[in-house]
Structure 1
């Protein structure tokens, strides 16, 4: 069945909600300037620009896209900086795949290969959400292989048109890449035993060799401004061109680790440390032989977290044959670049610069308690509660609030990606300020919760404002509309996210994840519902993020204050 086309929100509703969103973020003078720019846009250009967007939407809907999808993808593909330090995500995943060791690694590969190959064969079952909405399956195409190819001005998504038969994956181990067969001539995954034997061959081969000075994937961590010309030079060599084509055709990669580590150390390495992935590949899995670490390094331009969660759930549910039989298989093949002395020297210099920058990125974990639901006097959504706790930490740490981004899954719409919920409402700020002062009332609390519910309804009905404003801006630029609205100070303030937040609920498939903050001073926040409380992973920069310790401490204080208020009887 087809999914719903993405509607274009009403102009007046978006502009009104934008002003309400900007109000708690700016001072009176800035708000008046913002309101004036909004009035002028509404009166002078708004209707024409809205009509242009609606016309574009009709054409895109007819083509199976949305009015947002083309520009949304282009926004990702125009990124010139290092993807792991800009938009890629490291997800820790979970699954009952056996005890740490070679067998567990083989089981991860088998389960992942099975789900990927289903997609390549065109057999992926359609997703339906808990409300019965049919979900756009566009993002599942990232399971077919291919990669993001770095180019001079804008990158390109390359998806090879290949069957599921005789496909390969890339296995990374100790900085080397091996091509490993993963499917047979019928497009079915090779047996678990066969995959285990292939992994054993890789590990045995790596143990006899020294770790390379340049990890195989080093070039992919540099960002397209640097990587595009270096890659163009690299693949002038026919041998390297064949290696790159082979990487493109791989349906996924998997990085096999030897060394045990703490969870947060693993998470930081998976997201930011060079060599754990080919960073332009859609999905690189990761498994440790010495502990229970499982992860996926995700290139974010074509897929969001909700699809990753759904894919992992299908891997977990997969039934593995009870008596896997070893299949005929080609031996894993070590892939190496042929590098000139000058290119090697350049890559080593750039690699050192990347490592210095990556070392500035860290993840700090905070667990805050939560009462059992049976103790609560009324229903409170976990999402609203966690956002209020983060708002408390902001206000308590900095004595002011800044903009917060919260991602909302929009895949129930054609070519849907995400919308942005803006949880820093006037109602929420008033409640948190009163909570700090010991003057909170039940009425203020209920108003804050209702404001958050209203935002959720607005986003899920495809009437959020961030994407609509972006679409209006694109149409204005294409049509040469002379307006200062899109540079007004209130919009600039709203779009500068001090906290970029995202949650995928509980830890059943995705446990926690890491990504670079979107602003130097701010934090990337992931939050997960765990038994007895909430876990926050604060992604930060060691050189520029503002008062990590104070903010982390006030998350705990905020949780204590919130639940103390909720559990206190109110007249």
Structure 2
């Protein structure tokens, strides 16, 4: 398949077109003969970014020990029978899917930020703080942010959710916006960085709260009326609803060792989906958005750039 641009290639990788997958099954491995690109497209309910990267890493390591004579390279056609009624249903659902996916786009942003610019601070913390700055400048307010934290070291672990938007982060972002007193900004950065690291550490120790609250919210539906009524006062409160809204959903892929791009669709149509990572010399943000958010996505990218440039001046 030929692509007119990198953007078209990324969007194809993210949404596919229904022609090369069986009813959009959860896990698709696709190799493009024209440009030798390898895609992995999956349903997010099936696996997470960490699992995807681990699959590719293991495949890469195992490929060193596989002899060509051990590989059956001949493609085998799997014949499936679908009756007329279901074939019609599949066609209708495919058309709905293509119509919906056409409303979403994704952009990539590469910004120079050397490791020495990061000083002693957590790179994850820096990139999240810059995203909070960008959303504040774009929307004029602070919205809840979702960050996935890998929990696969636990036997039944998957992910915990950390909320990077803290009081400490807000204080830092407001000072970064004004950029008046460098010492004050540095002090606020130290506090915000420590708070972010503590939240990540708590999640890694299975001491996060987000997933537990979500689980309780699901369980409460089976409780007695009195318990349900009391609990729903909390779960239906404005505070909990705003906290648990994944307005900006984020994930970090860590490195470029085994994957190039990782993309996902925004959780809410009015929000953004952001994959981010840090190399030795730059930060990379991959931003997906609904067509109605095109201008906001453009401004978000602009303020990410502005945030990085301001960050580099804090200690200069």
The answer to whether the 8 Å contact 2:125/2:193 transfers is: yes
In structure 2, the partner of 1:100 is none
> Which of the numbers 278, 284, 296 marks the counterpart of 2:28?
284
1:528 aligns with 2:277: yes
The answer to whether the 8 Å contact 1:428/1:448 transfers is: yes
Question: What are the superposed Cα offsets for residues 371-427 of structure 1, whole Å, 9 maximum, x if unpaired?
Answer: 242x55x31211011101101111111111100000001122231111011111111
The answer to whether the 8 Å contact 1:266/1:293 transfers is: no
Q: Distance in 1 between matches of 2:238 and 2:304?
A: 29
Aligned to 2:260, the other structure's residue is in SS state strand
Alpha-carbon distance, 1:279 to partner: 5.6
Q: Distance in 2 between matches of 1:329 and 1:459?
A: 43
In structure 2, the partner of 1:235 is none
1:265 aligns with 2:8: yes
Instruction: Note closer, same or farther for the CA distance 1:385–1:326 as it changes in structure 2 (3 Å cut).
Output: closer
Q: Distance in 2 between matches of 1:328 and 1:419?
A: 40
In structure 2, the partner of 1:357 is 100
Q: Distance in 2 between matches of 1:498 and 1:522?
A: 5
Question: What are the superposed Cα offsets for residues 520-559 of structure 1, whole Å, 9 maximum, x if unpaired?
Answer: 1100000022341111110101124661111111110111
Alpha-carbon distance, 1:307 to partner: 1.8
Alpha-carbon distance, 1:261 to partner: 5.1
Instruction: Note closer, same or farther for the CA distance 1:355–1:332 as it changes in structure 2 (3 Å cut).
Output: same
In structure 2, the partner of 1:513 is 262
Q: TM-score of the superposition, structure 2-length normalised?
A: 0.88
Give the count of matched residue pairs: 307
In structure 2, the partner of 1:159 is none
Alpha-carbon distance, 1:345 to partner: 5.1
Question: What are the superposed Cα offsets for residues 118-151 of structure 1, whole Å, 9 maximum, x if unpaired?
Answer: xxxxxxxxxxxxxxxxxxxxxxxxxxxxxxxxxx
Instruction: Note closer, same or farther for the CA distance 1:349–1:389 as it changes in structure 2 (3 Å cut).
Output: same
The answer to whether the 8 Å contact 2:172/2:192 transfers is: yes
Q: Distance in 1 between matches of 2:199 and 2:174?
A: 21
1:485 aligns with 2:234: yes
The answer to whether the 8 Å contact 1:427/1:451 transfers is: yes
Q: Distance in 1 between matches of 2:166 and 2:74?
A: 59
The answer to whether the 8 Å contact 2:114/2:280 transfers is: no
The answer to whether the 8 Å contact 1:409/1:418 transfers is: yes
1:316 aligns with 2:316: no
Q: Distance in 2 between matches of 1:306 and 1:496?
A: 23
Alpha-carbon distance, 1:470 to partner: 1.6
Q: Distance in 2 between matches of 1:307 and 1:397?
A: 33
In structure 2, the partner of 1:427 is 168
Aligned to 2:213, the other structure's residue is in SS state helix
The answer to whether the 8 Å contact 1:273/1:358 transfers is: no
Instruction: Note closer, same or farther for the CA distance 1:345–1:324 as it changes in structure 2 (3 Å cut).
Output: closer
Q: Distance in 1 between matches of 2:95 and 2:303?
A: 36
The answer to whether the 8 Å contact 2:263/2:288 transfers is: yes
Q: Give matches, 1:417-456, under 5 Å.
A: 417-439=158-180, 440=182, 441=184, 442-456=186-200
Q: Distance in 1 between matches of 2:27 and 2:270?
A: 29
Q: Distance in 2 between matches of 1:283 and 1:548?
A: 29
1:552 aligns with 2:295: no
Q: Distance in 1 between matches of 2:235 and 2:290?
A: 29
Question: What are the superposed Cα offsets for residues 289-322 of structure 1, whole Å, 9 maximum, x if unpaired?
Answer: 1113211112222422212212211111224468
The answer to whether the 8 Å contact 1:284/1:297 transfers is: yes
In structure 2, the partner of 1:538 is 287
Instruction: Note closer, same or farther for the CA distance 1:322–1:349 as it changes in structure 2 (3 Å cut).
Output: closer
1:368 aligns with 2:117: no
Instruction: Note closer, same or farther for the CA distance 1:350–1:430 as it changes in structure 2 (3 Å cut).
Output: same
Q: Give matches, 1:166-565, under 5 Å.
A: 258-260=1-3, 262-275=5-18, 276-278=20-22, 281-320=25-64, 324-325=68-69, 332-333=76-77, 335=79, 337=81, 339-340=83-84, 346-373=89-116, 378-439=119-180, 440=182, 441=184, 442-480=186-224, 481=227, 482-483=229-230, 484-544=233-293, 547-565=296-314
Q: Distance in 2 between matches of 1:262 and 1:317?
A: 31
The answer to whether the 8 Å contact 1:278/1:284 transfers is: no
Q: Which runs of 5+ in 2 are unaligned?
A: none
Alpha-carbon distance, 1:462 to partner: 0.9
Question: What are the superposed Cα offsets for residues 4-51 of structure 1, whole Å, 9 maximum, x if unpaired?
Answer: xxxxxxxxxxxxxxxxxxxxxxxxxxxxxxxxxxxxxxxxxxxxxxxx
Aligned to 1:303, the other structure's residue is in SS state coil
The answer to whether the 8 Å contact 2:171/2:188 transfers is: yes
Q: TM-score of the superposition, structure 1-length normalised?
A: 0.50
